[in-house]
Amino acid sequence: MMMEKMRAKSNGLKRVVAGVAALVMIGGLAACGNAGSDSGDASANADGTIEVVASINQWGSVARDLGGDKVDVKSIMTATNVEAHDYEPTSSDIAAFSKAQVAVINGADYDSWASKAADSTKATVVDAAETAGKKDGDNPHVWFSHDVREKTADAITAAYVKALPDQKEYFEQQHEAWEEKEQAVEDKIDAAKATTEGVPYAASESVAWYLADDLGMTDATTDGYKNASANESEPSPADIKAFVDALESGSIKTFVLNTQEEDSTTKQLIAAAKKGSVPTVELTEQMPKEYDDLTDWMGALVDDFAAAVK
Ligand SMILES: [Zn+2]
């Protein structure tokens, strides 16, 4: 596959990879191929790559960008039409964690199943929320935050260097290339701020709160609804009415709709936004397939917000 082609380009690289592979094969034999048993310092797959598992595809894409052809990344949650907050892992999802050398989880109670699965393994765990000091109870949609993306990328690169110290330089180059892309998103955010700063928006779910915050927008979601949504409880009819009234009145300038968490209530909100001529930004929890990676997706969403506010 692509990995093989890229490796074939460099003979020197090929030799290093072959050396690592030989070491791992010895370790693998001694350990009877049981990934969970004591395999000493074996830090790579038989082909010299680091086995990485990510609970959600947005972080999986960052792990792939940073690891290049030295990693084999498996993302568990990739669909944009399933309940993201109550995901039930399959046994093969859990097995992917036991095989991994690096596990990237979101944290902040978004994917507690993944934290649990990772805890019982020897994998180096990167908890995205934790890298930026976010805890259970904080808004868990941390991939929308520039700050969290930066800190998570740092932690992933550190985990890769720990797993394959010989490839430090390679991982640093990958990191620099990623930084350039993230900086482009940051530049886009700064440019968009000219129109988005201070603009009141409301959201069906606090999914893009960090991005809206980076854009300097004001969360004008009515309190009752917002609190119910944050606690994953049903908003009361009065909460919904207050939100509907606010949308219809035109005081809210952008409506953010999480299409991955739609129900009868969000249908009412969509109708109200239409009635109040409030532009709507639609988005999902997991990264849609048409995007290459998290920075690509975030860049597109910044454009969507800027276009809605205009
Ligand atoms: Zn959510």
CA of 204 to the centre of ligand 1 (A): 10
pLDDT given at position 306? 97
Q: Separation of 69 CA from ligand 1 center, angstroms? A: 31
91-110 pLDDT, tens digit each: 999 999 999 999 999 999 99
Strands of the 102-105 sheet, one edge to the other: 71-77, 50-56, 102-105, 124-127
CA of 80 to the centre of ligand 1 (A): 11
Name the pTM for this structure: 0.85
Q: In this structure, which topology does domain 50-185 adopt according to CATH?
A: Rossmann fold (3.40.50)
- Tell me how far the alpha carbon of residue 8 lies from the centroid of ligand 1, in angstroms: 42
pLDDT band with cut points at 50, 70 and 90 for residue 47: confident
Going from the Cα of 237 to the center of ligand 1, the distance in angstroms, rounded, reads 21
Domains 50-185 and 195-309 fall in the same CATH topology = yes
Q: Is the pLDDT of residue 171 over 90?
A: yes
Predicted confidence (pLDDT) at residue 235 exceeds the cutoff of 60? yes
| 231-235: Cβ within 8 A, 24+ apart | 232/85, 234/265, 235/265
Give the integer Cα–Cα distance in Å for 245 and 284. 25
The answer to whether 244 and 250 have CB atoms below 8 angstroms apart is no
Q: Which of 136-150, 201-215, 223-237, 282-296 has the lowest mean pLDDT?
A: 223-237
CA 58 to chain CA centroid, nearest Å? 3
Distance 179 CA to ligand 1 centre (A): 26
Pair 238, 224: CB distance under 8 Å: yes
pLDDT exceeds 70 at position 225? yes
Cα(188) to ligand 1 centroid in Å equals: 24
How far is Cα 211 from Cα 186, in angstroms, rounded to an integer? 11
Report whether pLDDT(189) > 60. Answer: yes
pLDDT surpassing 70 at residue 296: yes
Question: What is the 208 CA–ligand 1 centroid distance (Å)?
Answer: 9
| The CATH number fitting domain 195-309, selected from 3.30.300.30, 3.40.50.1980, 3.20.20.60, 2.40.50.140 | 3.40.50.1980
User: In angstroms, what is the span from residue 230 Cα to ligand 1's centroid?
Assistant: 9
**Whether 221 contacts 272, CB under 8 Å:** no
Residue 280: predicted pLDDT: 97
Say whether pLDDT at 16 is over 60: no
Question: Who wins on pLDDT, 44 or 166?
Answer: 166
Q: Where are the beta strands (DSSP E) in the chain?
A: 50-56, 71-77, 102-105, 124-127, 200-203, 218-219, 254-258, 280-283
- A 10 A CB-CB count for 99 gives 15
Residue 14 clears pLDDT 50, i.e. is over it? no
Mean pLDDT of 72-88: 92
Tell me how far the alpha carbon of residue 244 lies from the centroid of ligand 1, in angstroms.
Answer: 20
How remote is the CA of residue 285 from the centroid of ligand 1, in Å? 6
Nearest to 282 by CA among 170, 190, 207: 207
Distance 231 CA to ligand 1 centre (A): 11
Spatial CB neighbours of 86, under 8 Å, sequence gap ≥ 6: none
Distance separating alpha carbons of residues 148 and 62, to the nearest angstrom: 12
Distance 85 CA to ligand 1 centre (A): 6
How many Å lie between the centroid of ligand 1 and the Cα of residue 182? Answer: 23
* Burial degree of 38 (CB within 10 A; 0-12, 13-18, 19+): exposed
Rounded Cα gap, residues 12 and 18, in angstroms: 10
What residues does each domain of the chain span? 50-185, 195-309
* 22-31, 111-120, 161-170: range with lowest mean pLDDT: 22-31
Tell me the two tokens of residue 187: 């530049």
The SS3 assignment for 217 reads coil
Quote the percentage of the chain above a pLDDT of 90.
Answer: 79
Give the model's confidence band at 146: pLDDT under 50 very low, under 70 low, under 90 confident, else very high. very high
- Give me ligand 1 centre to Cα 206, in Å: 7
> What would the two tokens of residue 239 be?
């909460």
Question: What length does the chain have?
Answer: 310
Cα 135 to Cα 84, 110, 132, 144, 166, distances in angstroms: 18, 10, 9, 16, 34
Residue 151's pLDDT is what? 98
Q: Give residue 205 CA to ligand 1 midpoint distance, Å.
A: 6
**Distance of alpha carbon 278 from the chain centroid:** 28
The alpha carbon of 307 and the centre of ligand 1 are apart by a number of angstroms equal to 23
Interatomic CA distance for residues 106 and 102, integer angstroms: 13
Distance from Cα 263 to the centre of ligand 1, integer Å: 13
Which residues are paired to 103 by β-bridges?
53, 125
Mean pLDDT, the chain, whole residue set: 88
pLDDT score, position 22? 40
Ligand 1 centroid to residue 83 C-alpha, Å: 9
CB count, 10 Å around CB of 180? 10
pLDDT of residue 272: 97
Confidence of residue 43 (pLDDT cuts 50, 70, 90): low
Query: Encoding tokens for residue 306?
Result: 């800027």
Report CA(261)–ligand 1 centroid distance (Å). Answer: 7
| Nearest partner of 128 among 62, 188, 173, judged by Cα | 62
Task: Let me know how many helices (H) and strands (E) the chain has, helices first.
Answer: 13, 8
Q: Tell me what pLDDT residue 268 has.
A: 97
Average pLDDT over residues 58-64: 98
- Residue 230: the pLDDT is 85
